[in-house]
Chain A
Amino acid sequence: MTADILIIGAGVVGCATARRFALEGASVILVEKGADILSGASKANSAILHTGFDAPPGSTELACMQAGYAEYLDIRERFNLALVETGAMVVAWNEAEEAQLDAIEAQARENRVSDVSRLDRAAILAREPNLSPAARAALLVPREHVIDPWSPFLAYMIQAKALGARFLFQTEVTGGQFDGEAWSVETTNGIFRARTVINCAGLFGDIVEQALLGEAHFSIHPRKGQFVVFDKAAAALVKTIILPVPNERTKGVVLCQTAFGNLLVGPTAEEQEDRLRATTASDTLKALIDKAVTMVPALEHMPVTATYAGLRPASDKKPYRIRVEPDRNWITLGGIRSTGLTASLGLAAHALELYRAMVGAKPDWRPVADPLESPVPNLAENRPRDWSKPDHGAIVCHCELVTEREIREALEGPLPPGDYGGLRRRTRCGMGRCQGFHCQARVAAMSEGRLRVPMVPEGGAA
């Protein structure tokens, strides 16, 4: 059978794109080398839904971010997706930074984010009394928000699956040929036929181009970001996202709530060659904590709940690396550096337009008029969680108050997790302050025989 669309990669971009094409009525295959969705760059980010106020004016990136932002707000209630309306402040800590706020404000207005406003020190401290009084001035961006960075993509994939999309995990694309009609895509799990390929391979986008097109039009230069997540007690200290005045290379270190009721500080921006190893470094983590304490002195002695690192699929140039090969029915959505979470739905819609332009004629697909929705469990703290509802069984993960019912439903759900990380992202079990001290063995027992990568190696370990 020849599918209409084969998508390489189940990161935020691939998941959103699979949903978009499935809604259009296309037959979709999504091939992912990891054991679960979001196992690449998309597993670790700051979870901010950006307005695009500081994106390059007129760029595809800005357009996709704003379209993605709008669609997210539009569909989120039907999917039961979180939104924490924090707002953000770009805070200037010295004179030089203060001087840059004018330009940032002008850019925001140019990008049609016109509800921004300026705050002086008194107004900053009135809004965030725990912020260090060293804050001189700020630009308030009210519609910068925080989301749950994982559940939306689970929802999109469940919807796509209900519409007939097929997903293959632990399946790596290794090569392929286009015969003028369709692609034969070679994978570690056999060959799949599809008329069009959409490359959403994130950190491996260039390698996939090289393998299937014979040459890559860009090169990925991973940029690592490390984070420290503070205890839930910290979340009460700052409600607004605290952004620094950015520089050319990075948005800089952010202090930001999570949808799960923690406070995070990060990310760093560190260039590296390795595309797989997202490692933390003790000194860097300490420096992040110190930085957070300078911004919010009350964070001194605050316990650390988690540390992690993510790799941005940055490329040799700043813009998104989008490529259409009309002669070979190929689209690359590559180099989605640091705004992919926000832009994903917009990128998916953009891919559909590119596809239409590429094939010329209108495909004879039947779009789903009234798509079935697939609400996902709420994991955000600002709305009721399962523990507050009757008959949840028992609490399994005490730190994050994850119930037995939530874990069971995730394991038995329409898109069960492929590994412990996937189960954590679906339920939050083991993500809290004790990091599985109390619940990991129980969760291992509950998930036995259900994960592609078991928590306890089969037969292997003692």
Chain B
Amino acid sequence: MSAHLDVAVIGGGPAGLSAAIELKRQGIARVGLFERESEAGGIPRHCAHPPFGLREFGRLLTGPGYARRLVALARTEDVEIHCNNSIVGFEYQNSGVKLLITTPAGLAHITARRVLLATGTRETTRAGRLLPGERPLGVINTGALQAYAHMERRLPFERPVIVGTELVSLSAILTCRSMGAYPVAMIGEEAEVLARKPLFLYPRLLGLPVLTGTRIVDIEGNPRVSAVTVEGPDGSHRRIACDGIVLSGRFTPESSLARLAGLGIDPKTGGPIIDNFGRTTHPCIFAAGNLLRPVETAGWCYREGRLIARQILRDLQEGLPDASQLGEIQVGEGIRYAAPQRVASPSGGMDCLQLRLERPFDGWLTARDATGRLLAREKIRSRPERRILLPLPASGPENLIRLSLEDRA
């Protein structure tokens, strides 16, 4: 392993791999990619279903196939991929960052002029959801479910309840069915399902009740799950016998490394605060992929990785605009998050803000400066699960941009 790198990429999912590939293609000599798992590829490694890769490879691939393609491409471009390498510490130096890495052989250090964090996202755990009840075996996220199916070829239950109504929740049902398990119910706290409605034909065809406006009020079982009790929208309780619980969705960026590095974290996205170049609050550290926000597709993350790689290139070659001159985005009521959180103009880099809402909304999305002057506005009709793109507004006085939802008046 070279001890001095131009760019160290941390995380070998779609975002990290595409960034490393792009950096090599653009002529950066020393690019190292560090992946803590035994193989690179990220989340798609365990997503045993299409559609992956349509835009990148013009082919319909399954997750594992897509992950293999990405890794093969990185190898063709001579990206050094170090698997089983976990970053455990950061030290800032004049010319860059020193990374402390645990490897199977022991501890190692490398220094890098720039670091790209691409550590991805995961689902909110049982603890993060503050779920009530006992703590039996068999309460797992979709990620663990997919890993059980992929690595073990068997599941820890036969009749689980699926919690969540996002796209990934449907994929959890697919995984269960492909392993011979029969989910007994699907429940979601929100009043309506979160993924597109026609997709719920699938659970209905399986005879799976989809209970919305419903939350878990008790989990029973020792040593394994034996039942959950749920409360419906009318306050009535219902006990569902089951032997497992899949907690799907409610993604949250895997930002532990970003926290360890002392970077500013946006409580709204849960990921590091970035500007439109993907630069975090430390000028040598960049971030890309689903670490930035929950959650986009693999294809999106792939393109984002490539885009941020170009900003890193520009930073190394000519320097990016001074970070202290950035406009800061503030999000108002009803907006779940917006990323990037800071913008430089004239800009380059990402040309849009990515937003999601907390509730369905039909009206104006506006960007105003500190004095209330309108900077930009867009008519939107959106729902929480949809991504909204707003062209980067130029910031006004006091470097402040306020985003808000305004009724059609």
- Residues on A lying within 8 angstroms of B by beta carbon are 35, 228-229, 231-233, 276-282, 285-286, 300-301, 303-308, 387-395, 398-399, 401, 419-420, 433-438, 440-442, 444-445, 453, 455-457, 460-462
The yes or no answer to B58 lying at the interface (CB within 8 A) is no
User: Which of B151-159, B293-301, B318-326, B343-351 is near enough to bind chain A?
Assistant: B151-159
Q: Is the CB of A462 within 8 A of B180?
A: yes
Q: How far is the CB of B338 from chain A (nearest CB, A)?
A: 17
Q: How far is the CB of A458 from chain B (nearest CB, A)?
A: 10
Q: Is the CB of A280 within 8 A of B36?
A: no
Q: Is the CB of A444 within 8 A of B125?
A: no
Compute how far the CA of A420 lies from the CA of B135 in the bound complex, rounded to whole angstroms: 12
Q: Is the CB of A461 within 8 A of B127?
A: no
12 A-B residue pairs with CB within 8 Å: A35-B223, A276-B222, A278-B134, A280-B130, A303-B128, A303-B270, A388-B102, A388-B107, A401-B88, A437-B143, A438-B144, A462-B180
- Please, which residues of chain A bring their CB within 8 A of the CB of B122? 434, 437-438
Against A, the Cβ 8 Å flags (1 = close, 0 = not) of B72-116 are 000000000000101010000000000000101111000000000
Q: How far is the CB of B39 from chain A (nearest CB, A)?
A: 11
Q: How far is the CB of A400 from chain B (nearest CB, A)?
A: 11
Question: Which residue on chain A has the smallest CB distance to residue B129?
Answer: A282
Besides A303-B252, A437-B144, 5 other A-B contacts (C-beta < 8 A): A279-B134, A390-B106, A393-B104, A435-B127, A438-B122
The yes or no answer to B256 lying at the interface (CB within 8 A) is yes
- Please, which residues of chain A bring their CB within 8 A of the CB of B244? 461
* With A231-B256, A279-B218, A445-B151 as contacts: A462 and B143 at CB distance below 8 Å: no
* With A304-B130, A455-B156, A461-B156 as contacts: A436 and B140 at CB distance below 8 Å: yes
Q: How far is the CB of B175 from chain A (nearest CB, A)?
A: 11
Q: Is the CB of A391 within 8 A of B156?
A: no
Q: Is the CB of B128 within 8 A of A304?
A: yes
The yes or no answer to B259 lying at the interface (CB within 8 A) is yes
Compute how far the CA of A306 lies from the CA of B143 in the bound complex, rounded to whole angstroms: 18
* With A392-B104, A441-B151, A456-B154 as contacts: A280 and B259 at CB distance below 8 Å: no
Against A, the Cβ 8 Å flags (1 = close, 0 = not) of B252-283 are 10101001100000010010000000000000
Compute how far the CA of A388 lies from the CA of B152 in the bound complex, rounded to whole angstroms: 29
* With A280-B132, A435-B125, A456-B154 as contacts: A461 and B107 at CB distance below 8 Å: no
Q: Is the CB of B36 within 8 A of A398?
A: yes
- Please, which residues of chain B bring their CB within 8 A of the CB of A438? 37, 122, 143-144, 147
Q: Is the CB of B144 within 8 A of A307?
A: no
Question: Which residue on chain B has the smallest CB distance to residue A388?
Answer: B107
Which secondary structure dominates where chain A touches chain B? loop
Compute how far the CA of A399 lies from the CA of B259 in the bound complex, rounded to whole angstroms: 13
Compute how far the CA of A112 lies from the CA of B219 in the bound complex, rounded to whole angstroms: 46
Compute how far the CA of A280 lies from the CA of B106 in the bound complex, rounded to whole angstroms: 40
Compute how far the CA of A392 lies from the CA of B108 in the bound complex, rounded to whole angstroms: 13
A-B contacts at CB below 8 angstroms, number: 146
Q: Is the CB of B102 within 8 A of A401?
A: yes
Q: Is the CB of B86 within 8 A of A282?
A: no
Question: Which residue on chain A has the smallest CB distance to residue B156?
Answer: A456
The yes or no answer to B38 lying at the interface (CB within 8 A) is yes
How many residues on the B side are at the interface (Cβ–Cβ under 8 A)?
Answer: 57
- Please, which residues of chain B bring their CB within 8 A of the CB of A303? 128, 252, 270
Q: Is the CB of A440 within 8 A of B158?
A: no
Compute how far the CA of A453 lies from the CA of B224 in the bound complex, rounded to whole angstroms: 10
Compute how far the CA of A375 lies from the CA of B123 in the bound complex, rounded to whole angstroms: 37
Q: Which of B140, B155, B158, B256 contacts A399 (CB 8 A)?
A: B256
From 115 to 152 in chain B, residues with beta carbon under 8 angstroms from any chain A beta carbon are 122-123, 125-128, 130-135, 137, 140-141, 143-144, 147-148, 150-152
Q: Is the CB of B102 within 8 A of A395?
A: yes
Compute how far the CA of A390 lies from the CA of B104 in the bound complex, rounded to whole angstroms: 7
The yes or no answer to B243 lying at the interface (CB within 8 A) is yes
Question: Which residue on chain B has the smallest CB distance to residue A300?
Answer: B267
Q: Is the CB of B86 within 8 A of A398?
A: yes
- Please, which residues of chain B bring their CB within 8 A of the CB of A440? 140, 144, 147-148
Q: How far is the CB of B123 from chain A (nearest CB, A)?
A: 7
- Please, which residues of chain A bring their CB within 8 A of the CB of B195? none
The yes or no answer to B331 lying at the interface (CB within 8 A) is no
The yes or no answer to B61 lying at the interface (CB within 8 A) is no
Q: Which of B125, B134, B137, B267 contacts A455 (CB 8 A)?
A: B137
- Please, which residues of chain B bring their CB within 8 A of the CB of A436? 140-141, 144
Question: Which residue on chain A has the smallest CB distance to residue B143?
Answer: A437
Q: Is the CB of A420 within 8 A of B137?
A: yes
Q: How far is the CB of A225 from chain B (nearest CB, A)?
A: 14
The residue among B150, B223, B259 with the most chain A CB atoms within 10 A of its own CB is B223
- Please, which residues of chain B bring their CB within 8 A of the CB of A391? 104-106
* With A231-B256, A282-B132, A461-B157 as contacts: A304 and B127 at CB distance below 8 Å: yes
Compute how far the CA of A461 lies from the CA of B137 in the bound complex, rounded to whole angstroms: 13
The yes or no answer to B179 lying at the interface (CB within 8 A) is yes
Shortest beta-carbon contacts, A-B, top 10: A390-B106, A441-B147, A462-B180, A435-B125, A301-B267, A462-B181, A441-B148, A394-B84, A285-B130, A233-B259
Question: Which residue on chain B has the smallest CB distance to residue A435?
Answer: B125
- Please, which residues of chain B bring their CB within 8 A of the CB of A453? 137, 223
Q: Which of A279, A286, A307, A462 contacts B127 (CB 8 A)?
A: A307
- Please, which residues of chain A bring their CB within 8 A of the CB of B104? 391-394
Compute how far the CA of A455 lies from the CA of B38 in the bound complex, rounded to whole angstroms: 22
- Please, which residues of chain A bring their CB within 8 A of the CB of B88? 387, 401
Question: Which residue on chain A has the smallest CB distance to residue B126?
Answer: A435
- Please, which residues of chain B bring their CB within 8 A of the CB of A307? 126-127, 130-131
Q: Is the CB of A390 within 8 A of B105?
A: yes
- Please, which residues of chain A bring their CB within 8 A of the CB of B224? 457
* With A304-B127, A401-B102, A437-B144 as contacts: A444 and B134 at CB distance below 8 Å: no
- Please, which residues of chain A bring their CB within 8 A of the CB of B150? 441
Compute how far the CA of A444 lies from the CA of B156 in the bound complex, rounded to whole angstroms: 9
Question: Which residue on chain B has the smallest CB distance to residue A43?
Answer: B135
Compute how far the CA of A395 lies from the CA of B106 in the bound complex, rounded to whole angstroms: 11
Q: Is the CB of A457 within 8 A of B156?
A: yes
Question: Which residue on chain A has the smallest CB distance to residue B135?
Answer: A308
Q: Is the CB of A394 within 8 A of B125?
A: no
Compute how far the CA of A287 lies from the CA of B137 in the bound complex, rounded to whole angstroms: 26
Q: Which of A280, A300, A434, A456 contacts B131 (CB 8 A)?
A: A280
Compute how far the CA of A233 lies from the CA of B154 in the bound complex, rounded to whole angstroms: 35
- Please, which residues of chain A bring their CB within 8 A of the CB of B158? 460-462
Compute how far the CA of A434 lies from the CA of B256 in the bound complex, rounded to whole angstroms: 10
Q: Is the CB of A442 within 8 A of B147?
A: yes
Q: Is the CB of B157 within 8 A of A280?
A: no
- Please, which residues of chain A bring their CB within 8 A of the CB of B220? 277
- Please, which residues of chain B bring their CB within 8 A of the CB of A387? 86, 88, 102
Compute how far the CA of A285 lies from the CA of B148 in the bound complex, rounded to whole angstroms: 30
Question: Which residue on chain B has the smallest CB distance to residue A433?
Answer: B256
- Please, which residues of chain B bring their CB within 8 A of the CB of A229? 127
The residue among B152, B176, B224 with the most chain A CB atoms within 10 A of its own CB is B152
